[in-house]
Structure 1
Amino acid sequence: MHRATYLVLLLSFVPGILSVKEPQNSSCRCLAFDHDCWPSSRVWNSFNTSVEGRLIRVLPPAAPCHDPFFDEQGCKEVQESWELEFWRTSHPGALYASNFESLGDQHRCSLASNRSSTCFQGAVPVYAVSVLDPLQVISAVKFASRYNLRLVVRTSGHDPTGRSTAPGSFAIWLHHLKSITFHESFVPEGYCPDKNSPPLGKIPAVTIGAGVQWEELYAATHERNSVITGGACSSVGAAGGFPQGGGHSLLSPMFGLAADNILQYEIVTAGGELLVANDWQNQELFWALRGGGGGTFGVVVSATYRTHPALESLAFALYNFTATTVNASNPMGKLVKKFVQISPELSDAGWSGNFFLSSRSLVLVYLLPNKNVSFANETLTPLTTYAEHQPGMVLETSLLAFSSFQEWHLAVQCGGQPSCITFTRRSQLRFPGASSLIPRKVFTDCPTKISRALMKITNTPFSITGVSNLGGDVARPRNNAVNPALRSALWHIILATNTNDNTTQAEYEKFARQITHANKLLPGSGAYMNEADFNEPNWQQSFFGENYPRLLDIKDKYDPTGLFVCHQCVGSEKWSNDLNCKLK
């Protein structure tokens, strides 16, 4: 059965379809299991007509494998696609971190359980509007406000802390807003220079709908002989939480963060008003949207990015350092200290990328835009020479040249496929993780502090991923709400563990506590909100720094009732732990 037909047939199956009273003022949101306030089927049908039939009944992704939803072909598709990230981003009920689809161990819809076991809705929204234009977004926002519904905003569902879902909620699903329009010379709406304004100049740009993913945008910009500051994981939405949370890119040291490259937003506010925000109108909202977090100030329906000339060349390093033993001489610890010491020099040379560290191995996956292999080799020689003189250290190196970013992306990130969409890359299904931004100052003043902390963490169950996409142009101050800690950082360290669908809630919570403790070992100055610890301590300071008071004022101005509320987002401290009731 075709999925669209399947969902339409299920429109009538929803808890709480009894006739209800008109909405009452309440400090708590109305949820699907609140029979006294949840809209009746008649109201939902009327709303569905107003949005041209775009209302869908959202089911957990494993529903086709369970009665009463069982569908043999649909179940086979789910089983084959369960861990594939692009499949998950195209499903209205699936999330990148699948643990956030459930409510504990019992209220879940498990792929592993048998057909007759109950498929619980869990934390998956009950209804969603699969919007095709801003007018449908406006209608959805006004409907949610009128009936006091718990509203969530979702594009790709890629948030590792589950901000794009909530139990008993109503969702605005932006996945199908796929427009891409290029501008040879973009002029912001409302641009009106005076004698004191510098000339605007020629600004090449691209305006995208909120549902466009980086894989689609990479291909489109490549065809235009351009590049753009996008995410390493190309299934991520290009206009939503990624740039709104800052958005570090492999090209950030050259061009800045994604937030730094946004020229204009179109956004539907909590009042159901479609606004344009840029440097010439709604400036304070524009400031907040670039770094203040997604799902907070409204529903972004389009974003305009500055594009940049295509790279002339690109050097790619894949270096694997392996310690043949772990002993008192600590060869890996010494190598990591050396790596820490030379990292400022690597950043100044233009390198970006990731490294992966364990007790016995250090793997570098690094890019060097617009530089040749000879220069790349020269800049890495201090590290390789040091490793070669370390007893018990084995080094494998691969240093390649690519003619374009897209050529590298397809060959390396997409496994040689014509698109990452066709590449069977696995999603990280359960993601207890933590984030720490390491200031450049620590690298020069106390490198041992970083290396010792990292080596200590290698003895925990958690993986260590280092993101070296900061420094360079990221450090240049801008007039936006980006976390100041990102400007001064050189590394973003991610600690994570991948569990599976059989992991219990108690085990998951144990991992979460342990990872918070491990993260405290790092000499960090803040955290990157898009890949952060669900239990991040003092999150207002960690995510936003000195910008938080101003962000809170803007939040209160544009969303005084808190229609848009999400975990550890601006203003969420005014709500209960489940984010359903406003605190008095």
Structure 2
Amino acid sequence: MAPLRLNLALLGTLATQALALAVTRRASVASIPESTWDAFNETISGHLRNGEPMLAPCYTRYNGESQTPDHAQCANLQKNGGDLTFATGQFGYYVQSQWGACQTTGDSCTFGAIRPDILTPILDKCEQGSVPTKYVDVRSVEDVQKTLVFAGENNLRLVVKNTGHDYMGRSSAPDSLALWMHNLQPPIELNKDFIADGCSESSGDSITFGAGQQFQGIYDFVEPLGYRIVGGSSVTVGAAGGWITGAGHSMLSNELGLGVDSVQQLKAVLPNGTHVTANRCQNQDIFFALRGGGGGTFGVITEMTTRVYPRKETQFVQMVFTNLLPVQQRRLLDILVENGEKWAEEGWGGYITMFNLGTIVFIATPLLTHDEAVESMKPLAKFATTFNLGIVKVQSTESFREGLDPFVQIQELGIFPGSAWALSSRIVKRESFVQSKQEELSDILSDFLNVQQNPLEPSMQILVVCLTMPTVYSKTMPESDLPGGPGHASIAPHWRDGIWQVLHFRTYDGSIDNPKLVQRIAQRAHDVMEPLRAFTPGSGAYINEADPWEPDHINSFWGEENYARLLRIKREVDPGNLLMVHQGVGWEESDARFSCYPDVTA
């Protein structure tokens, strides 16, 4: 009966919160007098800006009014829009372009995938879409504090944005004010034998950095010092934003754990403007919530301190298989499934990207010697030689950054300017890899690649198998970080027993502005995951890389016990629900900020 009582308690809490929120109506940004905006801007050192889509300077019509295009700026944007370092430094940019649009109305401001695109800005119009109307270019903790207080006092819709790496649309909303954290980048500091505030013992060597710091800068900092760090494979992701608040997986997660496992201290501004320090010794509820509870929900992280680890020889395997026949693709899937659990136990981490007639394998392990890694990869090597697909080589390096760079280059090239991505995902636990289930798992994954393509829904199908679960780490994780301990993170329990994270992408041209077509593509990406969901009962998805319409998202993202604690914390720190995101803790589905999400049937 205990689970039933918990369910009823959760339902009662949700119902109470929903009733409280139902009477809340957010004010339009346009309803705030200019004099009020001007006065606010003075308190934040002039850091208030008008938000506009990145490509707005290219268009002759913007938000229904004629304008003179800035041809020099437009040429620069078109030339560099595919450079993620440049693009993520623009407020109006979103890596998945649909989140800058209003997908239910077709209002958007993007180009086709082929650049330069001269005709679109002449023949089409640029609309605000879901790009926040105004934003604060945050340069200090005080900017965050004053913005949160201002938004609360004026009942404004508020979002938090860092780099625009956002699969769920949490960093955009129509008619909103945004906190743009990207430029909060004080110098990174190395802390030898770091002792968190209020603690008495060292937790090891760590680095401290600001909320806007991207992994590019972090890797550049730690590499010459002889360290590794648990970090993302995309170097333009912000380390202290959605990545860490969602869990933060890495090629090194198998050995070293998730991002939330390495974090030693977070500083954040709560919705009421209070700046707090959270770690395993103080503000443990906040520390719990900010490590897995989801971005843009409990507070705004301004500073993060996380462990760094000594260099270690790592074995890398990179292989590109092209022009695979269906029978070859299926055999490759069988090999991956048959060896999935074994390779996880051997420390392999990385990414296997499969599409139509090709596959990219990029994996690494720091737990095997070169000879052991060669032996481990024999099934893959045999596959390659059998079909005359090349030689699987294992390369050793003590520089993780050096080993990672080739994949970074491939990945960055794979993100086309103006592309949109519909996706769904699932964490596949150890129990799904037993021999009796392997064929069915291979069947399901094979179907992902062979789903009949509707010519009226132009999109490319991609299957990504992420070997980024903390398989080895979770067996020996510190007792203090287990459930009930001061370092427990709010991620769902299935992370600790996961072997793979499987993602299904449908990429399409972001200039498509037909709401019905966009909805159908999103619906198809949602539906295709159903067989894997059914095959993996009791599992879930990674909140940062999930289907935006994830079924049973509470259990999928957190589990009921974690969610009950998160909801209690949410109501304590943000009773007015100032910070709210789609499928976040305590979200209210009827809020107008979600009006641009397609109507996908879960």
**TM-score interval for Structure 1 and Structure 2 normalised by the shorter chain:** 0.7 to 0.9
Correspondence for 1:339 among 336, 345, 348? 336
- Residues 348-363 of structure 1: pairs in structure 2 closer than 5 A: 348-358=345-355, 360-363=357-360
1:508 lines up with 2:518 in the alignment: yes
Q: Give 2:3's aligned residue.
A: none
Q: 1:219-260: CA deviations, max 9, x gaps?
A: 101122111100011110000110110011011111100011
Q: 1:553 to 1:281 in 2, by over 3 A?
A: same
Q: Give 1:216's aligned residue.
A: 217
1:63 lines up with 2:64 in the alignment: no
Q: Give 2:63's aligned residue.
A: none
1:450 lines up with 2:451 in the alignment: no
**Residue type matched to 1:463 in 2?**
I
Counterpart CA distance in 2 for 1:72 and 1:339 is 50
Correspondence for 2:565 among 547, 550, 565? 550
Q: 1:235-291: CA deviations, max 9, x gaps?
A: 100001101100110111111000111111111111110011111111111111111
**8 Å contact from structure 1 (residues 344, 443) kept in 2:** yes
Q: 1:450-483: CA deviations, max 9, x gaps?
A: 1110111111252100001112114556311112
**Residue type matched to 2:94 in 1?**
L
Correspondence for 2:529 among 514, 519, 524? 519
Q: Give 2:197's aligned residue.
A: 189
Q: What are structure 2's unaligned runs of at least 5 residues?
A: 1-21, 61-66, 112-118, 454-460, 482-487, 596-602
**8 Å contact from structure 1 (residues 437, 528) kept in 2:** yes
User: Which stretch of structure 1 is more off in the superposition, 167-176 or 98-107?
Assistant: 98-107
1:43 lines up with 2:52 in the alignment: no
- Matched positions, count: 534
Identify the structure with the greater helix proportion.
Answer: 2
Q: 1:138 to 1:514 in 2, by over 3 A?
A: same
Q: 1:427 to 1:73 in 2, by over 3 A?
A: closer
Percent pairwise identity: 29
Counterpart CA distance in 1 for 2:270 and 2:239 is 20
Counterpart CA distance in 2 for 1:110 and 1:359 is 27
**Residue type matched to 2:446 in 1?**
M
Q: Give 1:232's aligned residue.
A: 233
Q: Give 2:491's aligned residue.
A: 482
The structure with higher relative contact order (CA 8 Å, sep 6+) is: 2
Q: 1:461-511: CA deviations, max 9, x gaps?
A: 521000011121145563111121211110000100211133232222111
Q: Give 1:406's aligned residue.
A: 401
**What's the secondary structure of 2:75's corresponding residue?**
helix
Counterpart CA distance in 1 for 2:143 and 2:154 is 17
Q: Give 1:293's aligned residue.
A: 294
Q: What are structure 1's unaligned runs of at least 5 residues?
A: 1-24, 194-199
**8 Å contact from structure 2 (residues 324, 358) kept in 1:** no
**8 Å contact from structure 1 (residues 84, 426) kept in 2:** no
**Residue type matched to 1:32 in 2?**
V
Deviation for aligned residue 1:428: 7.3
Counterpart CA distance in 1 for 2:524 and 2:405 is 36
Q: 1:97 to 1:425 in 2, by over 3 A?
A: closer
Counterpart CA distance in 1 for 2:224 and 2:238 is 20
1:536 lines up with 2:535 in the alignment: no
Q: Give 1:433's aligned residue.
A: 423
**Residue type matched to 1:364 in 2?**
V
User: Which stretch of structure 1 is more off in the superposition, 201-210 or 144-153?
Assistant: 201-210
**8 Å contact from structure 1 (residues 475, 488) kept in 2:** no
Q: 1:394 to 1:113 in 2, by over 3 A?
A: closer
Q: Give 1:397's aligned residue.
A: 392
- Residues 266-285 of structure 1: pairs in structure 2 closer than 5 A: 266-285=267-286
Deviation for aligned residue 1:399: 2.5
Q: 1:72 to 1:344 in 2, by over 3 A?
A: same
Deviation for aligned residue 1:356: 1.9
**Residue type matched to 2:70 in 1?**
D
Q: 1:509 to 1:203 in 2, by over 3 A?
A: same
Q: 1:106 to 1:248 in 2, by over 3 A?
A: closer
Q: 1:219 to 1:425 in 2, by over 3 A?
A: farther
Q: 1:393 to 1:256 in 2, by over 3 A?
A: same
**Residue type matched to 1:315 in 2?**
Q
**What's the secondary structure of 1:458's corresponding residue?**
helix
Q: 1:94 to 1:475 in 2, by over 3 A?
A: farther
Q: 1:415-450: CA deviations, max 9, x gaps?
A: 7xxxx99x8964573110111000011112511121
**What's the secondary structure of 1:232's corresponding residue?**
coil
- Residues 145-156 of structure 1: pairs in structure 2 closer than 5 A: 145-156=152-163
Q: 1:310 to 1:426 in 2, by over 3 A?
A: farther
Q: Give 1:11's aligned residue.
A: none
Counterpart CA distance in 2 for 1:424 and 1:381 is 29
Counterpart CA distance in 2 for 1:86 and 1:372 is 35
Q: Give 1:83's aligned residue.
A: 82
User: Which stretch of structure 1 is more off in the superposition, 131-140 or 61-70?
Assistant: 61-70
State the TM-score, normalizing by the size of structure 2: 0.84
**Residue type matched to 1:187 in 2?**
I
